[in-house]
Amino acid sequence: MSMQGVNNEDNVDLNKQQSREVRRRSLRLLFSLIRGIRLRLVGSFFMVLVSQALRVVGPGLITFAIDRALPAAIKGDMKLAWLTAGAYLICAIGSAATTSFFLVYAQRTNQAVLFQLRDRLFRHTQMLSLEFHEKYTSGRVISRQTNDIDSIKELLDTGGNEMVAGIIYMIFTGIALASLDFQSFLILLFAFVPLAILTRWFQKQTKFWYRKSRVASAKLIVHFVETMTGIRAVKAFRKEKRNQDDYNVLVEDYRSINAKVIQIFGIYDPGLTMIGNITVAAVLLFGGMRAMHGDFSIGLLTGAILYTKRFFDPMENIAQFYNAYQSANSGLEKVSGVLEEDPTVPEPTHPDVLAEPKGALDFDNVEFHYSNGKTILPDFNLHIPAGQTIALVGTTGAGKSTLAKLVSRFYDPSAGTVALDGHDLRKIANDDLRRAIVMVTQEAYLFAGTISDNIALGKPDASSDEIMAAAKAVGVHEFIMSLPDGYQTDVNKRGGRVSAGQRQLISFARAFIADPAVLILDEATASLDIPSERLVQHGLQTLLKGRTAIIIAHRLSTVSIADRVLVMEHGRIIEDDAPAKLIAGTGKFAKMHKAWRDSLA
Ligand SMILES: Nc1ncnc2c1ncn2[C@@H]1O[C@H](COP(=O)(O)OP(=O)(O)OP(=O)(O)O)[C@@H](O)[C@H]1O
Ligand SMILES: [Mg+2]
């Protein structure tokens, strides 16, 4: 599926063709979920049939009791009365037992489906390329995994079972009434006309308002998540008041939409009851008249009234189901949207063999733009021999990080090729690629767990000696030892909190232990103070030995350890030489370097 689908995901106004495609997509997901549980579904259905059939027998037995068993009992023959009472009891117990069995059974099936869906959604979302995640906000991702899955869960938990049971119950009741007294059944059929009109109106209304309600609640979540993830910026800029106002508007929106939904129910429910009561009254009147003329027994009349009255019982539940169905459906639509996103950087099916990566990089006629964005790299050619240390400098927005993302294959070039040791990156298996090329960014994310775990991320089977050696190499060992539990300190516990600079040092250790052929540092030393940076620089020389490195840094101190400096401007390399040569020259870099030297003095 294209990215267009993502943009339209939360948009209510889809055009016809899009909404058809969305429907098809969510049906596909539904079928794929059902495929694994077909047998269970058949089993559940059978149990519902039995339990509902047993429920419907009741009024028929009462008819029999009034017309046959009672007169016989009055004459002193209790046999039929006992028999009817016994049958009634057996049906009641049988129906209760099968219903309970069915509910437990159906619940198990539902849980299996939900498990499968949650698992799939997590795996798929995580697998999608960075391009997806740079577009699809975390609020929306969270909304998929919480809100939408919950709505599907709600449908499965209550709606589905009751709706299937309700419809079967109505069909059985209709059949029972028709065979008991066809004329009463015809009256019931008449009642179908207003019932159908009312229900159609209800469906249309709830469909519309339910969609709105889902969008409004998703907006609430997105706003909430955004505020809380950006809470530092919110506090720093005293944005609380504005956020609060925005939030209040959203809450009010959501409230008024829900009020509208309740209003619709306020019309539908009493309407339903009224139609039911009028039908019962009609059956009573018509049956009473026939009874008066003696061609309708009291037993039949009682049975007909009971069936007519009971016929409408599940209607309310079915209406509720429609509700749950509406929200589950839009949940399904959105979840299926994410599940049908393809990774924009797909793994090759027949990858090249990459035994010992050397680390030579080549850009051949690379053109790059982000999807529907302006061209960032117009025509890029660059050869980096294996083992060379590059310092990449240039003004903000020049395209340095973009270049780094292309080397890491977070994105594929729009045209041309990026190659490692002569292999197009698109032909290298993901595992090989991740082993060969590692990027360290300013973000330096630490995951929940110990410091040791976080370093070992670069090499999952690393021994504790290796972990310590890596920490020593980048000069973070002393700091780690000063933490309460040393390497076993939990980064999320009190005392385990580390500063931005310390985080960067730890992520260096992570990169060091991964031992990649190509290492990219994108502003990876930006949070370090001058002494720490010196320390890292010392470590960097160890870290960079024997591998290709691209160091992106605004602070030019890193440049001293580079073999070659590339100056980038508007997606082009404008200077490319050894640092000493460039500094001695009169170009852009010489000016940058002089300004930087002056700033230090
Ligand atoms: N995910 C994205 N989607 C669309 N455009 C992007 C994306 N990321 C960056 N850009 C655009 O690409 C251009 C280059 O950005 P890039 O991050 O490569 O610059 P940079 O040289 O790393 O800058 P800095 O020194 O500020 O880190 C910018 O104009 C930016 O607006
Ligand atoms: Mg950048």
- Report the CATH number that the domain containing residue 40 is assigned in CATH: 1.20.1560.10
pLDDT band of 9, cuts 50, 70, 90: very low
User: What letter would DSSP give residue 238?
Assistant: T
Say if ligand 1 is within 6 A of residue 373 CB.
Answer: yes
pLDDT for the residue 159: 67
Say if ligand 1 is within 6 A of residue 553 CB.
Answer: no
The pLDDT tens digits of the residues spanning 523-534 come to 877 777 777 777
Q: Evaluate whether 309 touches 177 at the Cβ level (below 8 Å).
A: no
Answer yes or no: is 403 within a domain.
yes
Say if ligand 1 is within 6 A of residue 441 CB.
Answer: no
Residue whose CA is closest, atom 8 of ligand 1? 402
Domain final residue pick, 278, 304, 339? 339
List the single range of 73-77, 276-280, 321-325 with lowest mean pLDDT.
Answer: 321-325
Query: Stretch 208-216: mean pLDDT, rounded?
Result: 85
Name the more confident of 509 and 493: 509
> Could you give the percent of the chain with pLDDT greater than 90?
39
- Residue 171 pLDDT > 50, yes or no? yes
Say if ligand 1 is within 6 A of residue 571 CB.
Answer: no
Q: Atom of ligand 1 at shortest distance to CA of 404?
A: 18
pLDDT band of 103, cuts 50, 70, 90: confident
Dist. CA 177 → ligand 2 center (Å):
75
The pLDDT tens digits of the residues spanning 78-94 come to 888 899 999 999 999 99
Q: How many domains does the chain have?
A: 2
Top-confidence range, 73-77, 338-342, 409-413? 409-413
Query: Stretch 129-156: mean pLDDT, rounded?
Result: 85
Residue 22 CB partners (closer than 8 Å, separation 6+)? 5, 14, 333, 336, 337
Answer yes or no: is 348 within a domain.
no
Q: What is the dihedral of CA 136, 139, 143, 145, to 10 degrees?
A: 80
- Are 298 and 368 in the same domain? no
Best residue among 3, 130, 370 to mutate for probing ligand 1's pocket (most ligand atoms within 8 Å of CB) is 370
- Residue 1 pLDDT > 70, yes or no? no
Answer yes or no: is 254 within a domain.
yes
- CA-based end-to-end distance of the chain: 56
Domain final residue pick, 306, 339, 372? 339
Average pLDDT, rounded, for the chain: 87
Dist. CA 401 → ligand 2 center (Å):
4
76: left (phi over 0), alpha (psi -120 to 50) or beta: left
- Are 365 and 332 in the same domain? no
Q: Give the span between the Cα atoms of 508 and 520, in whole angstroms.
A: 11
Say if ligand 1 is within 6 A of residue 126 CB.
Answer: no
- Are 317 and 373 in the same domain? no
- Residue 365 pLDDT > 90, yes or no? yes
pLDDT band of 14, cuts 50, 70, 90: low
Bridging pattern class, strands 548-552 and 437-441 = unpaired
Query: Stretch 436-455: mean pLDDT, rounded?
Result: 89
Residue 597 CB partners (closer than 8 Å, separation 6+)? none
pLDDT for the residue 207: 81
pLDDT for the residue 2: 34
Answer yes or no: is 524 within a domain.
yes
Q: For the domain that residue 371 is a member of, what is the CATH number?
A: 3.40.50.300
- Are 112 and 73 in the same domain? yes
Query: Stretch 143-148: mean pLDDT, rounded?
Result: 84
Question: pTM to 2 decimals?
Answer: 0.76
pLDDT for the residue 419: 96
Using N-to-C axis directions, what is the helix angle for 313-339 and 298-311, rounded to 10°? 30
Query: Stretch 337-344: mean pLDDT, rounded?
Result: 89
Q: What are the tokens at 402?
A: 């973009």
Answer yes or no: is 172 within a domain.
yes
Residue type, 17: Q
Q: Evaluate whether 458 touches 511 at the Cβ level (below 8 Å).
A: yes
Q: How many C-beta atoms lie closer than 10 Å to residue 182's C-beta?
A: 9
- Are 74 and 107 in the same domain? yes
Say if ligand 1 is within 6 A of residue 77 CB.
Answer: no
Q: Domain residues for 152?
A: 3-339
Q: Evaluate whether 319 touches 202 at the Cβ level (below 8 Å).
A: yes
- Are 502 and 595 in the same domain? yes
Dist. CA 399 → ligand 2 center (Å):
7
Quick one: which H or E segment has residue 104? Answer: helix 79-127
Domain final residue pick, 305, 339, 373? 339
Answer yes or no: is 349 within a domain.
no
Separation in Å, CA 232 to CA 86, 489, 502, 525: 72, 25, 19, 22
- Are 299 and 369 in the same domain? no
Q: Give the span between the Cα atoms of 120 and 341, in whole angstroms.
A: 13
- Are 452 and 309 in the same domain? no
pLDDT band of 495, cuts 50, 70, 90: low
Say if ligand 1 is within 6 A of residue 569 CB.
Answer: no
Q: Evaluate whether 489 touches 449 at the Cβ level (below 8 Å).
A: no
- Are 420 and 520 in the same domain? yes
Answer yes or no: is 344 within a domain.
no
Ligand nearest to the backbone CA of 521: 2
Ligand nearest to the backbone CA of 394: 1
Answer yes or no: is 345 within a domain.
no
Q: Evaluate whether 306 touches 62 at the Cβ level (below 8 Å).
A: yes
Name the more confident of 415 and 140: 415
Q: Evaluate whether 59 touches 306 at the Cβ level (below 8 Å).
A: yes
Q: Give the span between the Cα atoms of 501 and 376, in whole angstroms.
A: 30
Query: Stretch 210-222: mean pLDDT, rounded?
Result: 85
- Are 262 and 325 in the same domain? yes
- Are 257 and 329 in the same domain? yes
Say if ligand 1 is within 6 A of residue 134 CB.
Answer: yes
Residue 57 CB partners (closer than 8 Å, separation 6+)? 87, 91
- Are 405 and 326 in the same domain? no
Q: Give the span between the Cα atoms of 443 and 506, in whole angstroms.
A: 12
The pLDDT tens digits of the residues spanning 366-421 come to 999 998 788 999 999 999 999 999 999 998 899 999 999 999 999 999 999 999 99
pLDDT for the residue 8: 40
pLDDT for the residue 367: 95
pLDDT for the residue 278: 94
